C-alpha cells in the first residue's frame, strides 16, 4: 500500500486543482438564488466520479436537490463500503469578514497549516473532505488495489437539513445496500492527535415571529404603552435559560442520557486547553451550563442558541420606531436520546405559553436531526483505527463532538448500517464561518489514510 504515497506525490497538484475548481461553484443550498450553481455542482461531482473510475454514475432526482450516485462493484460476495458526503455549502455571509472572496479559492499558510490551506466556502465542509474519498477511490481503482465494493452517495441538502433524503433512502434501499457507511464531515483534534468522531448531536431548528402592534409606531407617541415586540422577544429568549444556563423548557432534559462518571472521566483525559480555547476565540471567559466542562458543554449536553435575530430599524442613524414584528432563528443541539420532533414541539408550546397577552407568536420549524452515538467495538471502528495508525503512527482518540449530521441516524434506521466518521479537518478551519479553509496536508493525509480503511475493513470482515 506504500504506492498511495507515490501516487499522491505524482498527482498532488491535480488533486488540489480539481478541488479548487469544485470550490468555485457557490452551491448554497439555503438560498434559492443559487439553485443553478447547486445543480451545476452536482454535475461536476458526477463527472468527478466517472473520471475516478466509478460506474453506474447518475444524478438521482429527489423532491429537493439531487443525490449524485456512483459505484464500483468488483465482487458481490465482498463487503460494500458506502461513502456519504455533500456538495452543498453554508451561506458565506458575513461577506465583509472574508479576507478573500468565498468562491475564489486561494492558498494561504496559517500557524496550524504551515504547508498551506485552501481558503473557500466548503473547502473543509464538505467539498474538500468529500473529494478525498473520490481521489482515494481513484487511486485504488487505477492501481487495482480496491479490496471490496464501493458506493458513493453525495447529497446537496445537508446544510439545510437533508429534507429529501429519508424518502430517497426508502425508495432506494437495494441500490444503497451496504455493510458500512464512511463519512468525512467532522474534524479531528489536531494534526498530531488523530481522533474518530463517535458521537454527534441532534438538531431542532425553528424560526419565531413576535407581532405586537399591527404597524410600526412612533416610539414617542406609543412608547411605554404598547408591547414592543423586540423587548418582548428579548424577554422570551432570555427566559429560555435560567441563572445556571440550564434550559427552562419543561421536559427538555427528560430524555437526555447522562454519561457515567467513568465516561466523563475518560472524556476529561482527552487533550484540551481552556486558555488556548479562550485565546483562539478572543473571549474573556467561556460561558455555559453550570456543572459541566467546556468539552462536555459542546458534546454531551444539549444547547439552545439564537442563530439570528432581527426587527425594527437596523439602518444608519437613529429611527424612533416601535416595530410591528421581531424575528429570531433559534436552534437546539440535542443529545441521545432526545427526539428532534418532540423537542421542537416542546419548544413551540413553551414559547407560545410565555408570550404576554399583548403579542401574537408564530413558531415555524426549519429542520431537525437525530443525535447519534457509534459503538467503538465494531469492525468498522477497528478498521478506521488501524488506518489512522498506519498513516499517523498513532491510535486515534474516540471523540463525541457537537455538530449534527442528521442522516447518520437515518442510515441506521432505514439502511440498518453503522457509520464511521473519519474527519480530517480542524475545529479552527472555520467551517460555517468567514475564511473557511482546509489544510493541504489534511487533504492529502485523508486521501492517504482512506485506502487503509478499505484494506483493514475487508480483511477484518472476511476473516471474521
User: Which residues 144-173 are close enough to bind a second copy by CB under 8 A?
Assistant: 159-161
Angle between helices 127-142 and 35-52 (to 10 degrees): 20
Whole-angstrom distance, CA of residue 406 vs CA of residue 165: 10
Calculate the CA 81 to chain-centre distance.
21
CB of 351 to a second copy, least distance (A): 13
Whole-angstrom distance, CA of residue 146 vs CA of residue 133: 12
Determine the interface stretch with a second copy among 52-60, 61-69, 87-95, 447-455 (rule: CB under 8 A): 87-95
CB of 356 to a second copy, least distance (A): 6
Whole-angstrom distance, CA of residue 44 vs CA of residue 39: 9
CB of 280 to a second copy, least distance (A): 8
CB of 210 to a second copy, least distance (A): 11
CB of 383 to a second copy, least distance (A): 26
Among positions 136, 154, 208, 237, the unique one binding a second copy when judged by CB under 8 A: 237
Q: Which is nearer to a second copy, 174 or 287 (CB)?
A: 287
Whole-angstrom distance, CA of residue 23 vs CA of residue 118: 9
Whole-angstrom distance, CA of residue 423 vs CA of residue 374: 14
Our finding on whether 244 is near a second copy (CB under 8 A) is no
Q: Which is nearer to a second copy, 211 or 458 (CB)?
A: 211
Q: Which is nearer to a second copy, 170 or 242 (CB)?
A: 242
Q: Which is nearer to a second copy, 327 or 453 (CB)?
A: 327
Q: Count interface residues toward a second copy (CB under 8 A).
A: 105
Whole-angstrom distance, CA of residue 424 vs CA of residue 375: 20
Residues forming beta bridges with residue 369, ordered by sequence position? 203
Among positions 56, 190, 221, 268, the unique one binding a second copy when judged by CB under 8 A: 221
Cell matching residue 353 = 405559553
What x/- string results for residues 295 through 334 when contact with a second copy is judged by CB under 8 A? x-xx--xxxxxxxxxxxxxxxxxxxxxxxx-xxxx-x-x-
DSSP for 341-374, written as a single string: HHHHHHHHHHHHHTS-TT-EEEEEEEEEE--EE-
Listed in sequence order, the residues at least 6 apart from 308 whose beta carbon sits closer than 8 Å to its beta carbon are 327, 328, 329
What x/- string results for residues 407 through 446 when contact with a second copy is judged by CB under 8 A? --------------------x--xxxxxx-----------
Amino acid at each position: 500500500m506504500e504506492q498511495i504515497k507515490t501516487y499522491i506525490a505524482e498527482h498532488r497538484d491535480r488533486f488540489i486543482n480539481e478541488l479548487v475548481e469544485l470550490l468555485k461553484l457557490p452551491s448554497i443550498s439555503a438560498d434559492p438564488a443559487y439553485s443553478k450553481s447547486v445543480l451545476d455542482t452536482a454535475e461536476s461531482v458526477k463527472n468527478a466520479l466517472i473520471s475516478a473510475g466509478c460506474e453506474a454514475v447518475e444524478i438521482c432526482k429527489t423532491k429537493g436537490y439531487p443525490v449524485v450516485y456512483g459505484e464500483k462493484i468488483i465482487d458481490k460476495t465482498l463487503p460494500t463500503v458506502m461513502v456519504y458526503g455533500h456538495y452543498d455549502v453554508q451561506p458565506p455571509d458575513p461577506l465583509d469578514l472574508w479576507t478573500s472572496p468565498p468562491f475564489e479559492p486561494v492558498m494561504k499558510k496559517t500557524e496550524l497549516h504551515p504547508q498551506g490551506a485552501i481558503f473557500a466556502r466548503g473547502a473543509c465542509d464538505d467539498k474538500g473532505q468529500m473529494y478525498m474519498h473520490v481521489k482515494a477511490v481513484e487511486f485504488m481503482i487505477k492501481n487495482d488495489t480496491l479490496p471490496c465494493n464501493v458506493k458513493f452517495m453525495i447529497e446537496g441538502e445537508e446544510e439545510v437539513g437533508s429534507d429529501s433524503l429519508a424518502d430517497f433512502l426508502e425508495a432506494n434501499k437495494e441500490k444503497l445496500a451496504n455493510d458500512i457507511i464512511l463519512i468525512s464531515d467532522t474534524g479531528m483534534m489536531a494534526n498530531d492527535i488523530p481522533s474518530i468522531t463517535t458521537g454527534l448531536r441532534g438538531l431542532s431548528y425553528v424560526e419565531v415571529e413576535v407581532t405586537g402592534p399591527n404597524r410600526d409606531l412612533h416610539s414617542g407617541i406609543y412608547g411605554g404603552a404598547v408591547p414592543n415586540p423586540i423587548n418582548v422577544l428579548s424577554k422570551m429568549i432570555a427566559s429560555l435559560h435560567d441563572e445556571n444556563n440550564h434550559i427552562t423548557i419543561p421536559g427538555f432534559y427528560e430524555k437526555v442520557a447522562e454519561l457515567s462518571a467513568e465516561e466523563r472521566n475518560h472524556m476529561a483525559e482527552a487533550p484540551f486547553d481552556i486558555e488556548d480555547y479562550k485565546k483562539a476565540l478572543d473571549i474573556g471567559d467561556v460561558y455555559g451550563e453550570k456543572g459541566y466542562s467546556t468539552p462536555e458543554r459542546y458534546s454531551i449536553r444539549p444547547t439552545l442558541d439564537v442563530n439570528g435575530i432581527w426587527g425594527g430599524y437596523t439602518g444608519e442613524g437613529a429611527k424612533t420606531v416601535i416595530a410591528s414584528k421581531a424575528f429570531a432563528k433559534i436552534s437546539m443541539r440535542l443529545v441521545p436520546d432526545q427526539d428532534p420532533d418532540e423537542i421542537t414541539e416542546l419548544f413551540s408550546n413553551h414559547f407560545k405559553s410565555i408570550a404576554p397577552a399583548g403579542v401574537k407568536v408564530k413558531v415555524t420549524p426549519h429542520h431537525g436531526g437525530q443525535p447519534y452515538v457509534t459503538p467503538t467495538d465494531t469492525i468498522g471502528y477497528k478498521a478506521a483505527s488501524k488506518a489512522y495508525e498506519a498513516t499517523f503512527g498513532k491510535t486515534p482518540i474516540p471523540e463525541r463532538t457537537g455538530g449534527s449530521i442528521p442522516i447518520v441516524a437515518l442510515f441506521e434506521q432505514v439502511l440498518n448500517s453503522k457509520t464511521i466518521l473519519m474527519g480530517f479537518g480542524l475545529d479552527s478551519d472555520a467551517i460555517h464561518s468567514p475564511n473557511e479553509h482546509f489544510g493541504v496536508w489534511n487533504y492529502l493525509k485523508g486521501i492517504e489514510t482512506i485506502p487503509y480503511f478499505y484494506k483493514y475493513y475487508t480483511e477484518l470482515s472476511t476473516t471474521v
